[in-house]
Every structure is written in C-alpha cells, then in structure tokens.
Amino acid sequence: MINVVAYVRSNSDNQWDKSIDTQVRAIKEYAEKENLNIIEIYIDRAISAMDDNRTDFQRMIENSKLKTFEQVIVHKLDRFSRNRYDFDQYEQTLKKNGVDVRSVLESLDDSPESIIIT
C-alpha cells in the first residue's frame, strides 16, 4: 500500500463546507479503490489557488522533503494550481522529493497533449 496525502481547497467562505466535504469524500473513495493509504489531509479554506500563502499547501510541499508519502491526491487539478506554470514549479519540487501528483477526476501525464491542454 502506498502512503499518500490529500490536498483540498475551497475558494470562498460560503462554499467551503460543501466543497471541502465533497473533495475529501471523493479522494477517500479513490484511495480505497486504488489501495492507497491517506496519512494526512491538508486543507486550505477560502483561499485562491493564485495565493502562494496557502498555509497547508506550503506545509505539504515542505513535508514532502520528509519522504513519508509518495503521492499528493487532489480532487481536481485546479485545487492544486490555477495555471500550468505554477503547477509545473510545484510538481517539480515534489518530484525532486519523490512525490507525484494525482487527480481523482483528471488524468495527468507528461505527454505533449496533456501539457497543452492543462
């Protein structure tokens, strides 16, 4: 069983309850189906993906150096980052630490088509 963490984020105060719960539930179901062990859930409430001061997101990136998890699972890629440039930067940092990013709803690969689309 692979150790993973989950990252969830909501955009605004008035949507966080539903959004966070939905994301966590979907990630837990995905982890069970894929035989993944969620060791921690990082949650940023009412914060834009454009904001680099996402406390739990930054803590997750920092904790990836500890090598206690192999993957970050998100519900959708826009919960992780709003643009490809930021996504690539954080993904490279995670990869240096032996961590991959996976999405419950979207496939992610290094193909030219995927890079263009996302």
Residues 12-40 pLDDT 10s: 655 545 689 999 999 999 999 999 999 99
Check whether 65 has a pLDDT greater than 70: yes
Q: Domain tally for the chain?
A: 1
- For 64-76, letters b (16+ CB in 10 Å) and e give beeeebbbbbbbe
Q: Are 19 and 53 in contact (CB under 8 A)?
A: no
Q: CA–CA separation, 29 vs 83, rounded Å?
A: 27
Read off the pLDDT of each residue in 64-76 and give the average, rounded to a whole number. 98
Q: 24 or 53: which carries more pLDDT confidence?
A: 24
CATH at 110: 3.40.50.1390
Range of the domain at 60: 2-117
What percentage of the chain has pLDDT greater than the value 90?
66
Given strand 100-103, what is the order of strands in its sheet?
A: 36-44, 2-9, 71-74, 100-103
Those residues with Cβ within 8 angstroms of residue 46's Cβ, 6 or more apart along the chain or in another chain = 10, 11, 12, 13, 16
> 46 by DSSP, 3-state: which?
coil
What percentage of the chain has pLDDT greater than the value 70?
81
